Amino acid sequence: MKHNQIALKIKTTGKSLHKITSQVEQAVTKSAVVTGLCTVFVRHTSASLLIQENADPDVLRDLENFFSQLVPEDSMRYIHSAEGADDMPAHIRSALTHTSEHIPISRGRLVLGTWQGIYLWEHRQRSHQREVIVHISGDEN
């Protein structure tokens, strides 16, 4: 069984969903793994990963609006505020979502559904440099 690992550097533009499907697909292609598993992991506690609708951007906007209401940025609600009013809400949003995703690989490609895309979800207001680890394991030809 072959293992391959790369680190993606993703520059975010503040609170939003950043589609990273193509970067992960490129890593799978370069790995030459035909059948296996791709694990994607974000190395941060105020950002998360999501597999979600990739065709209608309204879905992403609705998710962002829902999480803004579910976890408001209200400094009076939280004790932790060392990095600003958006920091603790970002940690909560990350805890409610995922820091990793696992996608099967078949015939050298990610086995995503037709309407699925992989997103890095930045939960902070300002831009950040985020690191996403892509670990690919499986069999070659």
The count of domains in the chain is 1
Q: Three-class SS string for 20-38? A: CHHHHHHHHHHHCCCEEEE
pLDDT value of position 106: 98
Q: What is the mean pLDDT of each run of 10 residues along the chain (141 residues)?
A: 97 96 98 98 98 96 97 91 92 97 98 97 97 98 79
Residues 14-41 pLDDT 10s: 999 999 999 999 999 999 999 999 999 9
Q: What percentage of the chain has pLDDT greater than the value 70?
A: 100
- Residue keyed to tokens 């009076």: 76
* Average pLDDT, rounded, for the chain: 96
- Domain containing residue 74: 2-139
CATH classification at residue 115:
2.60.120.460
Q: Is-contact 86 39, C-beta < 8 A? A: no
